[in-house]
């Protein structure tokens, strides 16, 4: 549930960035969702398999396993945040529409008759 609110807040931040660059906000929102899910699954599986192997080799109590599950959740959220930050950074690296129009004035000057 917490993730849903975080994703809504992130998409509200991505939408104006895409719009001011003349790009489709829907494409970038879907990219954000994909990055979130991909980052969370990748990190979650990696850490989850590692913790599962540790739990299989060592006798771990239920209380310690609960702590490891919280650690797994926290690291998978961190992976999701990192992947979304890369999408946002990539979007911010694209030139704004106003900058493109400003450059076009110098490349293609309009002559007034």
Domain ranges, residue 61 = 28-91
Domain count, the chain: 1
Give me the residue label for tokens 């493109």. 100
pLDDT lower than 70: segments of the chain = 103-113
Q: Is residue 36 part of a domain?
A: yes
DSSP state of 4: H
Q: Is residue 69 part of a domain?
A: yes
Q: Is residue 66 part of a domain?
A: yes
Task: Spell out a b/e string for 66-80, using b for 16 or more CB atoms within 10 Å of the CB, else e.
Answer: eebeeebeebbbebb
Specify the pLDDT at position 60.
Answer: 80
Q: Is residue 21 part of a domain?
A: no
**pTM (2 d.p.):** 0.78
Other C-beta atoms within 10 Å of 22: how many?
13
Specify the pLDDT at position 87.
Answer: 93
Q: Is residue 110 part of a domain?
A: no
Q: Is residue 6 part of a domain?
A: no
Specify the pLDDT at position 61.
Answer: 79
């Amino acid at each position: 549930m917490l993730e849903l609110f975080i994703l809504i807040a992130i998409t509200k931040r991505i939408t104006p960035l895409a719009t001011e660059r003349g790009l489709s906000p829907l494409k970038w929102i879907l990219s954000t969702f994909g990055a979130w899910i991909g980052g969370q699954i990748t990190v979650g599986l990696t850490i989850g398999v590692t913790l599962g192997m540790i739990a299989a080799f060592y006798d771990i109590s239920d209380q310690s396993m609960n702590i490891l599950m919280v650690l797994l959740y926290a690291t998978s959220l961190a992976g999701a945040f990192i992947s979304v930050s890369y999408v946002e950074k990539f979007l911010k690296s694209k030139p704004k529409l106003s900058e493109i129009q400003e450059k076009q004035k110098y490349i293609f000057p309009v002559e007034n008759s």
